[in-house]
């Protein structure tokens, strides 16, 4: 193993942050977008004295709308493109987008939103070259030149073919497309040249807007904290174009898939179904794909949480024919080698490890050797009889809850969908009130104060907890097939009074943005995307 990194990815002072996915932003067009609404949220964060904005993966989503099963590791989610910006560029008119303004403002209606917004984006793209100025057009051409051979062209082909095949996964396409027959792809490129270019224009617009948001956040000292699933989806442009990095055959069939073993919470374990990496192949090429993946993510964000970090030490491999995760077995991951390779190529790694669940000394050792911060989630920790707030390590991120948890108020009272018994709910209530010394009426604020009181350099609460919302505002319920990823905040919930109250909470913990000044941002990192 190479020498350990000199420093953590977290600064050496106390910070406070908020977890809210981009889709949850307020705005007039049916979903949170990365333009004016996102910059407006940065403004509110400054008023709230919060310095870190954590959000979920921002890749394009598919059926089920989960950001954790993106169609591409490198592409941006087209549904997040700001419609107002397209109007400002002259690519759309107010009248043309009127249908979007009739959509709900408290939740995302994906079934109505996606076809309407997709149609409008292709309309905007058809006008792009005749409407935008020379500087933007040159910027677009440079974007294509930088990214076409790496991911952009394959992504465009993938999206076109997926539409042609009724959105079925790529291993169910016509054989010539499954196997990437050169003549078939060349014919596709000729016949669909306009649509291919439109898809690239839409991606350019996404990254143009994102980097404007990133620069705006940095101007005010706000850190952008992203999220990266360790696995990629089988039905993705990455798998279709790079099947050599995965344990799948030429027909796209995996021999084993990812999951986790049976535990206290699930007698059958969890069968995720994602293809496993061919780690021997990754080792042979110096983990180049992972270096590219982290480099691309690091251009968009300042920090990134890697979901299921333990899979780098060892992962649960389940035969693809299995109906449950029971039949799996632990197999060794790449361990130190992958982090050594990424650090050699990129310098200190801007990584936070999702290290929840059953974590072995080996997994802890891997994380600690590379000075990667771990996570504490108080909703989980408080029910541990031996847990104390002093146990939270300095090099960690402490949460009240995450996107997968109910809101603190919902968790405290128990929702109709709660899988816990009444006794378990009451035990959690007693534990959190004892830990915080607070009251049921203020449990959300008291748990935030508890997180802020720890030694963790970074403490984060979901926006729903800052606002004191119940289960109606839950973003995701793991294991449920629908109704997730829909919640949105509305402007009136982020009134100046609410923002000032949150600021007082943050300042009293000595975690305020104004108390530590603007953090230094990397200056040598040049965007590869836009």
Active site residues: 307, 354, 404
Q: In what order do the strands lie in the sheet with 329-332?
A: 270-275, 256-260, 314-319, 329-332
Q: Residues 6 or more apart from 71 whose CB is under 8 A from it?
A: 59, 60, 61, 62, 155, 158, 159, 162, 233, 235, 236, 237
Which helix (H) or strand (E) element contains residue 178?
helix 175-178
3-state secondary structure of 67: coil
E-strand ranges in 395-447 read: 396-399
Say if CB 247 and CB 256 are below 8 A apart.
Answer: yes
3-state secondary structure of 491: helix
Residue 135: Cβ-neighbour burial (10 angstroms; 0-12, 13-18, 19+)? exposed
Say if CB 208 and CB 133 are below 8 A apart.
Answer: no
Which helix (H) or strand (E) element contains residue 497?
helix 496-507
Which helix (H) or strand (E) element contains residue 342?
helix 336-346
Angle between helices 182-191 and 193-219 (to 10 degrees): 80
CA–CA dist 259, 261 (Å, integer): 7
């Amino acid at each position: 193993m190479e020498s350990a990194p000199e420093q953590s990815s977290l600064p050496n002072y106390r910070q406070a942050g908020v977890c809210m996915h981009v889709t949850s932003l307020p705005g007039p067009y049916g979903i949170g977008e990365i333009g004016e609404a996102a910059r407006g949220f940065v403004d509110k964060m400054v008023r709230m004295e919060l310095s870190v904005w954590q959000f979920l993966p921002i890749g394009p989503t598919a059926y089920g709308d989960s950001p954790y099963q993106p169609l591409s590791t490198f592409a941006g989610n087209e549904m997040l493109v700001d419609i107002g910006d397209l109007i400002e560029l002259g690519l759309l008119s107010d009248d043309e987008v009127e249908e979007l303004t009739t959509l709900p403002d408290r939740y995302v209606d994906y079934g109505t939103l996606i076809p309407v917004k997709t149609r409008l984006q292709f309309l905007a793209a058809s006008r792009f070259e005749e409407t935008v100025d020379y500087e933007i057009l040159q910027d677009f051409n440079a974007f294509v030149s930088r990214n076409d051979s790496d991911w952009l062209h394959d992504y465009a082909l993938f999206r076109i073919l997926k539409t042609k095949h009724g959105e079925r996964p790529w291993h169910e396409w016509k054989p010539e497309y499954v196997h990437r027959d050169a003549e078939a792809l060349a014919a596709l490129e000729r016949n669909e040249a306009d649509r291919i270019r439109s898809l690239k224009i839409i991606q350019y617009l996404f990254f143009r807007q994102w980097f404007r948001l990133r620069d705006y956040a940095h101007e005010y000292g706000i850190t952008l904290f992203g999220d990266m699933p360790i696995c990629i989806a089988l039905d993705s442009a990455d798998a279709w174009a790079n099947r050599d990095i995965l344990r799948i055959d030429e027909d796209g069939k995996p021999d084993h898939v990812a999951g986790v073993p049976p535990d206290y919470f699930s007698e059958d374990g969890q069968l995720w179904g994602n293809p496993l990496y061919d780690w021997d192949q990754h080792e042979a090429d110096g983990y180049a794909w992972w270096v590219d993946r982290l480099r691309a993510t690091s251009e968009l964000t300042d920090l990134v949480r890697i979901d299921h970090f333990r899979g780098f030490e060892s992962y649960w491999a389940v035969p693809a024919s299995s109906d449950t995760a029971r039949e799996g077995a632990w197999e060794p991951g790449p361990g130190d080698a992958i982090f050594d390779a990424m650090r050699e190529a990129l310098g200190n790694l801007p990584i936070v490890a999702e290290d929840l669940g059953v974590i072995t000394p080996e997994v802890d050792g891997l994380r600690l050797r590379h000075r990667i911060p771990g996570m504490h989630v108080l909703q989980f920790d408080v029910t541990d009889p031996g847990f104390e707030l002093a146990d939270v390590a300095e090099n960690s991120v402490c949460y009240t809850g995450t996107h997968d948890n109910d809101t603190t108020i919902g968790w405290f009272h128990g929702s109709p969908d709660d899988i816990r018994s009444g006794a378990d709910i009451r035990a959690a209530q007693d534990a959190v009130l004892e830990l915080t010394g607070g009251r049921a009426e203020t449990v959300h604020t008291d748990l935030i104060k508890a997180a802020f009181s720890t030694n963790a350099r970074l403490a984060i609460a979901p926006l729903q907890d800052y606002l004191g919302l119940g289960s109606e505002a839950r973003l995701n319920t793991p294991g449920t097939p629908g109704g997730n990823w829909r919640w949105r905040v509305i402007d009136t919930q982020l009134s100046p009074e609410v923002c000032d109250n949150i600021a007082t909470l943050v300042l009293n913990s000595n975690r305020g943005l104004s108390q530590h000044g603007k953090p230094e941002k990397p200056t040598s990192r040049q965007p590869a995307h836009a």
